[in-house]
Amino acid sequence: MMLSALDSPRREVQEIDYALLWSVLILLFTGLVMVYSSSIATAEGGRFTGHQPAYYLVRHGVFLGISVIVAAVAFQVPLSLWQKYSPYLFMIGVVLLAIVLIPGIGKEVNGARRWLPLGFVNLQPSELMKLFAVLYAADYTVRKINVMHDLKQAFLPMFGAMAVVGMLLLKEPDFGALVVIISIAMGILFLGGLKARLFALLIVGLLAAFAVMIIVSPYRRDRVFGFMDPWADAFGRGYQLSHSLIAFGRGELFGVGLGASVEKLFYLPEAHTDFLMAVIAEELGFIGVLAVIALFALLVQRAFAIGRQCVQLDRLYPALVAMGIGIWFGVQSFINIGVNMGLLPTKGLTLPLMSFGGSGILANCIALAILLRADWENRQLMRGGQP
């Protein structure tokens, strides 16, 4: 099976997927530059920042440096070990999601309790949970591969695990993270052999459940109404989206120039986190937005290509992990960019690899290190060695 997957067993095989590596590095560097550009005014005007223009740049740089070091360590860990410990990592993630809800322990910001204060940095468990969900769902699917046609044996146990995670996330609340995690779990189950008819029914059920959660929640309902017509209440529920759309409009084809954004000057809330793409659109224009989308598309394409190669080499767990990471980055970047462009209701999701936030950057870098490790193990097998 292994030899049949190779066009030429004796050909020269590179050590790493450079297309994937360079797309990641460009996104990380561009994110660092744009976080600095979008946060200067906020940093200068904030008392807790010491009025230092480079406050967020320095913090983001430190987060990025730590994340790269941790990712380098994660790259050394074989996929077999990730598989062995994935259930325990998932349980750790659930415990962290529960701890963050405890008053006096979890940190509350703007009505949401999503962070665990750890001195100079805050840990956001939902970001790590996305990574743990990929690892656990892939391991679960491998263990259930022979009964994937059975609703009771294949789906219901995973449904129970996701229901627990979902209840904890909705308590925070963090609806965006829930959508991403559910997408990861459902995508991996489908790739693992879940029946198409059953999958379609589950999608319909999930959409109905999301609709109910929106209808019964006033703040989610307001966001949907604000998304449908942001100009009807441009200074209220449509404020963020209206200013994001103004930023896109001002950017036109080539942008107003790096650092020249007006919307980041206290008009656009969360410019360096959730609405970073709006600043990119304003300063770098349509060309800049298109370049970022192309880089994410390349990243997702390489993740699925690595997953397909794992399948050819009879490595099911690494295949599902690689594709799960592709689903994660694809779904989250699509939602974030869609929100910024007014295609989706406003949702608090950051742009992977680019937005300010230590927990997100850390989880993203570890995930990509695991993806690169899966690719590296494939290449070792193609050379005739051991992963």
Q: Does pLDDT of 233 surpass 80?
A: no
pLDDT of residue 13: 56
pLDDT of residue 295: 98
pTM of the model as a whole = 0.92
pLDDT of residue 45: 80
Model confidence over 281-305: pLDDT tens digits?
Answer: 999 999 999 999 999 999 999 999 9
Model confidence over 330-371: pLDDT tens digits?
Answer: 999 999 999 999 888 887 789 999 999 889 999 999 999 999
Instruction: Give the mean model confidence (pLDDT) for residues 212-220.
Output: 74
pLDDT of residue 164: 92
pLDDT of residue 340: 94
Q: What is the mean pLDDT of the chain?
A: 89
Burial 114-123 (b: 16+ CB within 10 A, else e): bbbeeeeebb
3-state SS of the chain is CCHHHCCCCCCCCCCCCHHHHHHHHHHHHHHHHHHHHHHHHHHHHCHHHCCCCCHHHHHHHHHHHHHHHHHHHHHCCCHHHHHHHHHHHHHHHHHHHHHCCCCCCCEEECCEEEEEEECCEEECHHHHHHHHHHHHHHHHHHHCHHHCCCHHHHHHHHHHHHHHHHHHHHHCCCHHHHHHHHHHHHHHHHHCCCCHHHHHHHHHHHHHHHHHHHHHCHHHHHHHHHHHCHHHHCCCCCHHHHHHHHHHHHHCCCCCCCCCCCCCCCCCCCCCCCCHHHHHHHHHHHHHHHHHHHHHHHHHHHHHHHHHHHHHCCCHHHHHHHHHHHHHHHHHHHHHHHHHCCCCCCCCCCCCCCCCCHHHHHHHHHHHHHHHHHHHHHHHHHCCCCC
Model confidence over 360-386: pLDDT tens digits?
Answer: 999 999 999 999 999 999 999 888 766
Distance from C-alpha of 72 to C-alpha of 302, rounded to nearest angstrom: 19
CB-based contact 292:355 (threshold 8 Å):
no
Tokens of 341: 């462009």
pLDDT band at 136 (very low <50, low <70, confident <90, very high): very high
Distance from C-alpha of 234 to C-alpha of 75, rounded to nearest angstrom: 47
**What are the phi and psi torsion angles at 114 (to 5°)?**
-125, 0
pLDDT band at 221 (very low <50, low <70, confident <90, very high): confident
CB-based contact 350:317 (threshold 8 Å):
no
Residue 322 exposure: Cα atoms within 13 Å on the Cβ side: 27
Question: Most confidently modeled of 85-94, 115-124, 230-239, 257-266?
Answer: 85-94
